Every structure is written in structure tokens, then in C-alpha cells.
Amino acid sequence: MFGDSLQMESQTGSLTIRDIRTRDSGIYQLDIIYTPFKQITVLFNVTAYDEMKSVSVTAGESVTLHTDVPVIHPHDIRYIQWSFDPKNTLIDIHFDEGTPKIRYYHDEIFRDRLQIDNQTGSLIIRNIRTTDSGLYDLQIIRLVKSLAVLFNITVYARLPIPVFIRDCPSSSTSGSSSNCSLLCSAVNVSHVTLSWYKGNSLLSSISVSDLSISLSLPLEVEYQDKNTYSCVINNPIRNRTKHLNITQLCHTCPDSVQCCGFTEAVIRLVISAVVGVAAVAIVVYDIRSIRAEKKQRTSESVSEIINY
């Protein structure tokens, strides 16, 4: 069955299978006997694939995992199965007397987002999510030659549009600097790179991998700078660009909320709202006090008339 494709490492006892084929898939058992009373048995579940395909897609899109079978011939194909890592059967197709019988396994992860192409057996995943990333196993059992393909799917989250934030200069340097300090920010992102460009030249960049965090990248320009600047956020398959308007964002207004950084602007707005509420409360209190005073005077006047 294996011919000369097997080799054992004399020092460790490890087994090497050269030129492995799909038919070599299966359970391999290792027995290590130390003494008649001590023995170790290890099972290896080996799956050999004809091909491995990598697929990258953005969350919310639909993706089709192609079988590369032009047309399903019932007399040639006996069985098709789609599984999701780890060996979680999603869909199988049995051909009983030439008639395909499709059976869906209702997985809580995918619910009703899976569909089979009746002509090719390709798997369609609608409204794909980042949690759908992983390995998808395709097994096609045929009379002549069976086929095993592994799909490695990576689903990236949608990219947000970068946001520009201007930092207010400190009171000690206010009006003395000819530069405008800016931040390009993106909130709750992962597996992305944030970059500043001057024309087509890269100025700076920052990246994040697994964790979902907020990124900020600073830039300092002169008020009269006529160059073109842009901030780009990208992952391996998509990018989004926002161009900087220096005249609009860096106009001189040291006392204006628009010139401040995001945090300071929010604080000012909150303080204004609190002051406004307090002012309204004072006015209401004054009105109620005046009304109460008038009512008391009226009651006293009526009492005097009755007593008289």
C-alpha cells in the first residue's frame, strides 16, 4: 500500500510518510512497549488533502467555496460533505440511485446562512461574520478518484472611516507656534494599519493585530502648508482613505471649541449643558417662589376681609 514511502527515525521512532496521498488518510496507531507491564498507545488521525485554498473576505459579504466540479454526475459522485473546523459537519449530499439528497445540519453558528449550489455542490455562506473564520473541509467521494480540499477562510471586520482630531495648544504656547497638531484615529479596530501619507509618500504608520483597540497617529503641519495629506486605514484586503483639509481643520481660533481636541470639546459641551440646566433650575425656582409669595399674600388679604 505504501511501497517505499515509509521511513522510521531510529533515534525517536517517529514515522515519516513521503509523497502522501488522500487514500493514506486515516487512523495511525503508535504502540510503545517498555515492559510487559508498561505500554503507551497513541492514535494519530491523519487527513491528506489534494489542495488547500486560502480565502479572505470582509464581514457582511457572501462567499462561495467552489468545488471546481463543472456538473454533478450522479453516476460518478457518491457522496459530498462540507465540514467546519473541528470536523463539525455542515451539509452532506448522498446520491441514492442517481438522486441527490441534501441534508443540512442546523448549527447555531450559521443558522440559515448556508446554501448549496445544486449544480456543482459549492458551498455559499451569506452574510459572513468574523466568527466564521476557520477551516472548511470538502470531501467528494467518487467512483474513479475521490477529492479532498481544505479552505482556510479569514473574515475581516469592516473598516471604519478615520477621524481627524485637532489638539489644542497649551496656554503657554498658544499663539506662539506656527504648527497645527493633529491626530488620525480609528476606534475598536483589529488586524489593521493606520498610516499618514504626504502625497504618495508614507510618513508614519501604526499597526494592531489581534486585540480590538483604538488607534491614534499624530501629525504636525504648518498652517500655511500647501501639501496634500491623507490618512489611510487598511487590512490585507481593503483600505479606506480620508484626505486632510488643512485650511478647514487648522484655522486659527484659539478660544473656539472646533480648535480643541475631542476630549476637551466634549468637556466644554458637558459643562455648558450643566450650566444651562442649572440656569433653568434657578429660573424655575424663582418663578415658583414669586407665585408662592403672591398666593400667600392673597390668602392673608382674604383672611383680613373675613375677620373684618
- For residue range 272-301, list pLDDT tens digits in order: 333 343 333 333 344 455 455 545 554 554
pLDDT one-digit tens code per residue, 77-92? 788 899 997 678 899 8
Please check whether the two domains, 51-156 and 163-259, share a CATH topology. Answer: yes
Question: Domain-by-domain residue ranges, the chain?
Answer: 6-46, 51-156, 163-259, 261-308
Where are the extended beta strands (E) located within 190-299? 192-198, 201-208, 213-222, 229-234, 239-244
pLDDT in tens, 174-212: 444 678 899 999 998 889 999 999 999 999 999 988 777
Superfamily the domain 163-259 falls into: Immunoglobulins (2.60.40.10)
Q: What CATH architecture is 51-156?
A: Sandwich (2.60)
Rounded to whole angstroms, the Cα distance separating 279 from 273 reads 10
pLDDT at residue 127 above 50?
A: yes
Q: What CA–CA distance (Å, rounded) separates 55 from 71? A: 23
Q: What integer pLDDT is reported at residue 244 of this predicted model?
A: 93
Q: Is the pLDDT of residue 234 over 60?
A: yes
Residue 129, helix vs strand vs coil: coil
Q: Has this prediction a pTM greater than 0.85?
A: no
* Pairing label, strands 179-189, 213-222: antiparallel
